[in-house]
Amino acid sequence: MTLRPRTLLQLLLTGFTLTALPLAIALTTAVIYLDRATEHGREAVVIAAQYMRSSQKLVDQVTSLERFARQYHVIGDAAFLKLYQDRYGEIGQMLVTLRVFSDDAANVARIETFARELGQLNAAFLELTGSEDDRGTQSGRVIDGFAELRRQAHELRALGQELVSASTDRLRESAALADRMLFWQLAALLPAVLAVGAGCVVLIIRPLRQLDRAIRGLGRGEFSNPIVVRGPDDLESLGQTLEWTRQRLEALEEQKSAFLRQISHELKTPLTSLREGASLLRDGTSGPLTEGQREIVEVLLDNGRRLQRLIENLLDYNRLQAPVQLDRQHAIALDALVDEVLEGHRMTLRRQRIALARERATIEVPGDREKLRTVIDNLLSNAIKFSPPGAEVRIVVRHEAERAVLEILDAGPGVPGHEREAIFEPFVQGHAKAAGHVKGTGLGLAIARHFARLHHGDLLAIPNPSGRGACFRLELPLAVVGD
């Protein structure tokens, strides 16, 4: 059993968790360490500061003790002796405080030495306070001993300053260590986090790209390739729905193709009989025709040809669903091919009194003759169909850079700008209405553009320079382009 996210939301949440959790743990660890280091450093700084204040106070008290001793030595007033004894008791309490705030064995030894020497000096001083004669030279030497105590008190104060500085340095080092630890944690975790993030992105993007390709394939009418989507269950379910849609569209496409094949062949047989019968009537096989009867027969033949063309378009469209092979072994004279197509429309042109204007150029293009003939025939049929009686159809053949250009311009209703691409889609017809009883299928232009692009050319609907009517532009390369 494989453990994997069941839905896209679970995959997103899992990816976010896997990428954010290691970073959060690293950051939390660094914050906790920094907080502890800061707390310890703060306590050390507080203790050092208290030791510093106490040592400074000790210096002041030793100085005061020396002053009271000297005043008693000079004046002999018992009040100074009382002040001396009070100050001595305070110094003893201060030394106890210094021992509490000191965590260094050498410093404690210095404090003990100071306390011992202070006690010895105090005992010697008290022995000399019995009589006035005792306050002599020996008393002076004892009192001078307080200067040594004051020096030691200054040393203890200097040691307090060093403790404050050392505590501050340790606090700074702890912060720097926390910064380094956080940096190396991030340096170690970042590649793994990026790898996990990239993996999650791949797991998300891959099924989305598969869905995108599948949807684009359906839009292009590619129904033969099965749709398979690998990823979270909800995206796989969407892929299965698209696969079901593909199968339905493939079945409908096959049904449509079968229907078109059947209906086209079934229509061609009776239509051929109708055209042959009309031809026999026109040729006078059943007797001479009056002018009116001949005109009716010509109408029958003309519409029969139009129906024939529509049926052929259906068959051509059916053949477009399979790969098309071009026969481009020989060069084709484009202007001569236009003449050949025009021969099949002479009767319609004469009956509708449509004039032709030609701009000729001798151009040969490599291509499949029958398919290019179909392209020109569809374009010319549209121009005639949409032109009003008595109008002019203009046909231009010319060189343009490395391409041959054929333009057919009519005087009909034209193609609006918003329809100039849509009319090349299968079964799409513009809003303009053609004259006559036989309506188009909307396949002629789709087939014509398809054949043009098979020749590495193109077919475009462009604005008519005259401002009225349609203009279709066929572009073909002058040399064979590799498939």
**Helix/strand/coil for 222:** coil
252 and 392 in a single domain? The answer is no
Length of the chain counted residue by residue = 483
Whether 416 maps to a domain, the answer reads yes
Whether 318 maps to a domain, the answer reads yes
Residues 6+ positions from 36 with CB-CB distance below 8 Å: none
142 and 261 in a single domain? The answer is no
Distance CA 359, CA 418 (A): 29
Asked if residue 337 lies in contact with residue 377, where contact means CB atoms within 8 angstroms, the answer is no
37 and 169 in a single domain? The answer is yes
124 and 64 in a single domain? The answer is yes
**Torsion angle of the four alpha carbons 83, 89, 92, 96, in this order, in degrees rounded to the nearest 10:** -130
436 and 350 in a single domain? The answer is yes
434 and 455 in a single domain? The answer is yes
Give the domain extent around 428: 326-477
Whether 57 maps to a domain, the answer reads yes
pTM (two decimals): 0.49
274 and 378 in a single domain? The answer is no
298 and 179 in a single domain? The answer is no
Whether 216 maps to a domain, the answer reads no
59 and 196 in a single domain? The answer is yes
Whether 26 maps to a domain, the answer reads yes
Whether 221 maps to a domain, the answer reads no
Where does a domain end: 306, 322, 338? 322
| pLDDT score recorded for residue 250 | 80
Asked if residue 407 lies in contact with residue 419, where contact means CB atoms within 8 angstroms, the answer is no
Whether 75 maps to a domain, the answer reads yes
370 and 280 in a single domain? The answer is no
pLDDT digits (tens, 9 = 90+) for 214-240: 888 877 777 778 888 887 777 788 888
Q: Beta partners for 409? A: 394, 471
Looking at the structure of the chain, the number of domains it has is: 3
Whether 220 maps to a domain, the answer reads no
Q: Spell out the per-residue pLDDT of the chain, length 483, in tens.
A: 455 567 777 777 777 777 777 777 777 777 777 677 677 666 666 776 777 777 778 888 888 887 887 787 777 788 888 888 888 888 888 888 777 777 677 777 888 888 888 888 888 777 766 555 444 555 666 777 777 777 877 877 777 667 667 767 777 777 777 777 777 777 777 787 777 777 777 777 888 888 888 888 877 777 778 888 887 777 788 888 888 888 888 888 778 777 766 776 676 667 677 767 777 777 777 777 777 777 777 777 777 777 777 677 666 666 655 556 666 667 888 999 999 988 878 878 888 888 999 998 888 898 888 889 889 988 998 888 888 888 999 999 999 888 999 999 998 888 888 888 888 887 777 665 555 444 556 778 888 898 898 888 999 999 988 888 899 999 999 876 655
125 and 52 in a single domain? The answer is yes
19 and 34 in a single domain? The answer is yes
Distance CA 337, CA 382 (A): 17
